[in-house]
Amino acid sequence: MTRSILVCGGAGYIGSHMVRLLQEAGHDVVVFDNLSQGHAEAVTGTTLVRGDLLNPEDLSALFDRHNFDAVIHFAALIAVGESVAAPDLYYRNNVCGTLNLLAAMKTAGVDRLVFSSTAAVFGNPLTELIDESHPLAPINPYGWSKRMMEQMLADMAAAYGLRSVSLRYFNAAGAHPGGEIGEAHDPETHLIPLVLLAALGLRDRLAIFGEDYDTRDGTCIRDYIHVLDLASAHLKALDYMEAHPGAHTFNLGNGRGFTTLEVIEAARRVTGREIPVEMATRRAGDAGILVADSARAKAVLGWEPRYADLETIIETAWRWHRAPKYGPFAEGR
C-alpha cells in the first residue's frame, strides 16, 4: 500500500536513510527539516521543505499543503554531553518541537506517528539486556526529553486516539552501502565516525571517555546497530499501527555490547590504519553499559536486522567517510 509520509528531520543521518527505504518501498515522501544538522544534498528525489518545529506557522503551511497518512519524527537534538550543559536547549527543541508537531497533526487529522526514541530513557541499566519492561530512569536531559515525549504520546493515545510507535534506538552507526548518504554531524560527537576520522588523519587522536567503568576493559559498552536496520523497523512500525491503536514502544539493538576499545580494534582491522587514542575522563551523562533486548521487535513487528556484525557496520561507515558527498569533510569544503 502506497502511503504519503512526512519525515521530520529527513535530511539528517538516520532520517535520510529512512527516506531511501520509503522511496524504495514506493511511498510518497515529504521531508521537513531546519537543516541545523541535516544536509539538503542528502535528500534526492523528493520534496524538501525547510522549516522548524518551533515555528507553528511552518507546520500549518506544511499540513495545509499536503495530506499525510503518517509522520516519522527524527527531528531532535541528540548529543548526551551537550544536553547536560544546555538542558533548556534540549527541552525546548525536543519537547516543545514535538508538542508543536502533535498540535499540527491533530488539527490536520493525522493520527499516526513513528517516533525516534532512545536507549537513554533507561539510564543505568538494572539488567544485562534491556527490554521494554525495564524502568525508565534517564540520567541526562536528552534522555529525559525523550522520556517526556514518549509519555506525551501515551497520554494522547488515551485522550485522542493518536496511534504511535516509539522506537528506542541503541547506538546508530554505519551508512547506506551505496556510499551516497552517511553520517555528517558538525561537530561530530559519535564514537564510530570519530574513530574513522582519526584513521583518516582528519582528527589528531580519539579521546576515550573513561577507563574506570565496571566493564571488561574499563571502557563503556554500547550496542551498535546499523542505520538501515533502524530504518527498516520504521517500515514495520507503519504497518503495525494500522492494526494496533495505542502507543507502543520497542527497543532496537543487536543484543551484543562492545567496549569503546573493542570498537577501536575492530576499526583498526577494517581500515588497516593506525588510530591514535588517549585516555580521558568520563563524559557527563554517559551510562556505563547499554545493550538491547530486541526480542519484542522481532516477535511483534517481524523485524530482523540485516547488518548485525560490528565489522560490517564499520565497513559501511568507512566507505562513506573516505569519500563523503556532503558535510564538513566533503571534498571542496
Positions touching ligand UFG (CB under 6 A) are 78, 80, 118-120, 170-171, 189-191, 194, 206-209, 220, 222, 260, 283, 286, 290
Closest contact distance (angstroms) between CB of 166 and ligand UFG is 13
Select the residue whose beta carbon is closest to ligand UFG and give its number: 220
Q: What residue ranges in the chain does DSSP mark as E strands?
A: 4-8, 28-33, 47-50, 70-73, 112-118, 163-169, 171-173, 206-209, 221-222, 224-226, 247-252, 258-259, 277-280, 289-290
Minimal CA–CA distance to 53: which of 34, 68, 39?
34
194/297 with CB nearer ligand UFG: 194
Please enumerate in sequence order all residues whose Cβ is within 8 A of that of 84, keeping only pairs 6 or more positions apart, or say none.
140, 141, 284, 285
Closest contact distance (angstroms) between CB of 113 and ligand UFG is 19
204: exposed, middle or buried (C-beta count within 10 Å: 0-12, 13-18, 19+)?
Answer: exposed
Give backbone dihedrals phi and psi of 280, rounded to 5 degrees, phi first. -135, 175
Cα–Cα distance between 325 and 107 in angstroms, integer?
38
Cα–Cα distance between 315 and 267 in angstroms, integer?
8
42/290 with CB nearer ligand UFG: 290
209/307 with CB nearer ligand UFG: 209
61/84 with CB nearer ligand UFG: 84
Closest contact distance (angstroms) between CB of 67 and ligand UFG is 31
Please enumerate in sequence order all residues whose Cβ is within 8 A of that of 64, keeping only pairs 6 or more positions apart, or say none.
none
Closest contact distance (angstroms) between CB of 159 and ligand UFG is 28
Closest contact distance (angstroms) between CB of 56 and ligand UFG is 26
Minimal CA–CA distance to 118: which of 246, 9, 223?
223
Identify the active-site residue in 142, 224, 240, 307.
142
Please enumerate in sequence order all residues whose Cβ is within 8 A of that of 254, keeping only pairs 6 or more positions apart, or say none.
170, 223, 224, 225, 292, 294, 305, 308
Closest contact distance (angstroms) between CB of 140 and ligand UFG is 9
Cα–Cα distance between 206 and 200 in angstroms, integer?
12
- Count of alpha carbons within 13 angstroms of residue 186, beta-carbon side: 11
49/84 with CB nearer ligand UFG: 84
Provide the grid cell at 194. 570519530
228/241 with CB nearer ligand UFG: 228
Q: Is 142 assigned a catalytic role?
A: yes
Q: What residue ranges in 51-111 does DSSP mark as E strands?
A: 70-73
Q: Which residues are catalytic?
A: 142
